[in-house]
Amino acid sequence: MSVKRYTVEELHRLMSIYFKRDIQLLPIGNHELRRHQVYRITIGEASHIFKYYYQTGYANREIASLSLLNPRLDFVPRLVDHGTFDENREWILLDIVKGVPFFKVMEEMTPRTVNRIYYEMGERLKTMHDIPFDFFGDWSSEGRPLLENPTLEKAFWHHAQRIESLVENRDMPDVDLLKSLLESLRASSKAVLKKASPVFCHNDYNARNIMVARKKGLWQLSAVLDFEQSMPFDRAFDFVHLTLYDFHHHPGAEEAFYRGYGTTPGDPDRLRFYLLYQAMKIATWAYEVSPDYYDRALKIIKTHL
């Protein structure tokens, strides 16, 4: 469900009232994605990251994730504060982390350095996956399950509701192919989505959400960002974004990542299932805004369906 999209002037006024002092807001996020707004906020002498969410569900996942991870891991941003405007319009405040986005500086790195960062990405993801749960799926900001008796299959289809609706009701190119894929996923999900243990999953793990910084002249992974999709889920889903966005472009990255992770991705049928779902998800938005992504999504679907 979408919520009011405040202007920067309105956000400035609301946060000034909340902190009882004047503040400064500098836009720094990808606001065109229309999921949230991200600003650098300065309150007196201190600066933080301020995120205001357009849609419900994102904030509670990020709050739950960071509340869990902050005491355990030193490579995630610290949650400083969170709250709501007008009852349900959520925001969070984070510490600023050092570094620059990995995907923005790859071109100035040697292939060996790029693969070393992917190795470190594998290590960090394994650390997060080592946190076990007793349920799958969406959770509240307090870390409680939002579904009753959530199996992996139930949690997956709850998460996929919006994409199902878009495929079935949106007029777009190749809609018959997408509907055929959706039916195929529905028919196979009971057999494929079983025998998994719920662990902490990032669910948007790729180079866009990795920060890197130089230390003694060497690039190193400094932080993992953006936990708004994160929840207890099947670890295999965390490999899909890498397969789609990263490994395709960087020879050697896949092998380096799984060496860092310590094992192979596992069940190929489940990975294929998630890969097809994610390609379908990409296709539902990319045909309007990103023809390259749309074409790549359709190619994946036609190759694997």
pLDDT of residue 266: 85
Helices 291-304 + 268-289 axis angle, to 10: 150
Helices 175-192 + 291-304 axis angle, to 10: 50
Which DSSP state fits 98? Answer: S
HSE of 58, CA atoms in CB hemisphere, 13 A: 20
Please report, for the chain, the start and end positions of each structural domain, with discontinuous segments joined by +: 8-94, 100-304
Distance in angstroms (rounded) separating the CA atoms of residues 170 and 275: 21
Q: How far is CA 277 from CA 113, 211, 228, in A?
A: 31, 27, 19
Q: Provide the H-helix boundaries in 193-290.
A: 240-241, 253-261, 268-289
Q: 258: how many CB neighbours lie within 10 A of its CB? A: 19
Determine the topology of domain 100-304 in CATH: Aminoglycoside 3'-phosphotransferase; Chain: A, domain 2 (3.90.1200)
Burial label, 210 (beta-carbon count in 10 A; 0-12, 13-18, 19+):
buried
Distance in angstroms (rounded) separating the CA atoms of residues 14 and 37: 14
75 contact partners, CB below 8 Å, separation of at least 6? 124, 221, 222, 223, 224
Rounded to 5 degrees, what are φ and ψ at 280?
Answer: -65, -40
What are the 10-residue block averages of pLDDT along the chain, 305 residues in total? 74 91 86 73 94 88 98 97 84 96 95 97 98 96 94 95 92 91 97 94 96 95 97 97 89 96 92 95 85 88 87
Q: Does domain 8-94 have CATH number 3.90.550.10?
A: no
Question: Whole-model pTM?
Answer: 0.92
The residue ranges of DSSP E strands in the chain, in sequence order, are: 23-27, 36-43, 46-53, 79-85, 89-94, 100-101, 199-201, 210-215, 218-224, 231-233
pLDDT of residue 32: 54
